[in-house]
Amino acid sequence: MWLDNSSQSLVDDFWRMSGVVETFPRDLERPLALALPIALVSLPRLRLRDIETWLQQRGSCFEFQCRSRAIRGCLIAFRGQGLIFVDGADPQDERRFTTAHEIAHFLVDYWRPRENALSRLGAKIAEVVDGLRDPTIRERVYALIGSIAIGVHTDLVERDRRLDDMSGTLWSLEDRADRVGLSLLAPPDAVLELVDLSPRDYGEREAEVTGVLRSCFGLPAAVARSYSHVLLAQSGRGPSWLETVGLR
């Protein structure tokens, strides 16, 4: 199963709240504006310092507790709202994936846990989740069990993230946010409806799926290659044993 039930419900909620379902390739900008309290900000040659400056110009004193460096994207979420920054100098396919990745992090790591906490403990827990007051013992226990982030929530998309390395620790399709983001852009069922999985050679099947992900769904090359590996494996059309050991 590509998504568990909880993750699939996040994808379904996003499209339900937006009231529209984009055709492919999806940029997600209009559905994002309709579905979630998130502003999408494009800054050229994005660095952490640029985000801090942008926020300071608008009255915020937020600072990253690390050195400034170039990044592809960033999510900052607070009080139920968010800002997604993307590098406006990146190609459109990279910006598309960065946006989807950060939307997924907002849904998975911030919005859903926050909504669950409000539902279970009432509106006053928002003061705790937002870092405006210390939690009671009961609230502290719930936050620990539910892995609720307290205060400002951030996520960064690093520039040197090795999306073409399936064994790399920075890129794993097992990561829930990656799965949700890819499901927003290129749902597995929609991809598999368009591809020809009949070629006997795995390399041909991989090239077919990667090509469709690039041309029809607008994914970056490295992301498309990695995603094609997983889709082929889950559909039972991964490499044969002989191909795996390099004998064919």
Q: Residue 95 pLDDT > 70, yes or no?
A: yes
Looking at the chain, the whole-number percentage of residues with pLDDT higher than 70 is 85
Specify if 82 maps to a domain. Answer: yes
Average pLDDT over residues 208-234: 94
Q: Residue 219 pLDDT > 50, yes or no?
A: yes
Confidence (pLDDT) at 149: 67
Same domain? 24 vs 80 = yes
Residue 205 has phi, psi (to 5 degrees) of -65, -40
The last residue of a domain, from among 127, 161, 195: 161
Same domain? 38 vs 128 = yes
Half-sphere exposure of 163 (CA within 13 A, CB side): 20
**What digits encode the pLDDT tens for the residues 129-159?**
776 777 777 767 666 555 666 678 888 888 7
Same domain? 34 vs 109 = yes
Print the domain residue range for 197: 186-248
Specify if 241 maps to a domain. Answer: yes
Specify if 181 maps to a domain. Answer: no
d(CA 16, CA 225): 30
Are the C-beta atoms of 97 and 219 separated by less than 8 Å? yes
Q: pTM for the full model?
A: 0.87
Specify if 172 maps to a domain. Answer: no
Specify if 132 maps to a domain. Answer: yes
Residues 6 or more apart whose CB falls under 8 angstroms from that of 122 comprise none
Residue 64 has phi, psi (to 5 degrees) of -75, 140
Same domain? 219 vs 154 = no
The last residue of a domain, from among 161, 178, 211: 161
Crossing angle (nearest 10°) for helices 137-146 and 112-121: 150
Count of structural domains within the chain: 2
Report how far apart, in Å, the C-alpha atoms of 200 and of each of 167, 228, 237, 239 are. Answer: 26, 16, 9, 10
Indicate the average pLDDT of the chain. 85
Tell me the pLDDT band of 170, cut-offs 50, 70 and 90. very low
Best mean pLDDT range from 27-41, 54-68, 172-186: 27-41
Same domain? 29 vs 144 = yes
Specify if 179 maps to a domain. Answer: no
Sign of CA dihedral 44, 46, 47, 50: positive
Confidence (pLDDT) at 146: 55
From the list 191, 225, 183, the residue with the least C-alpha distance to 207 is 225
Confidence (pLDDT) at 206: 93
Specify if 167 maps to a domain. Answer: no
Q: Residue 230 pLDDT > 60, yes or no?
A: yes
Peptide bond into 44 cis (omega under 30): no
Number of neighbouring beta carbons within 10 Å of residue 239: 18
Tell me the pLDDT band of 169, cut-offs 50, 70 and 90. very low
Looking at the chain, the whole-number percentage of residues with pLDDT higher than 90 is 52
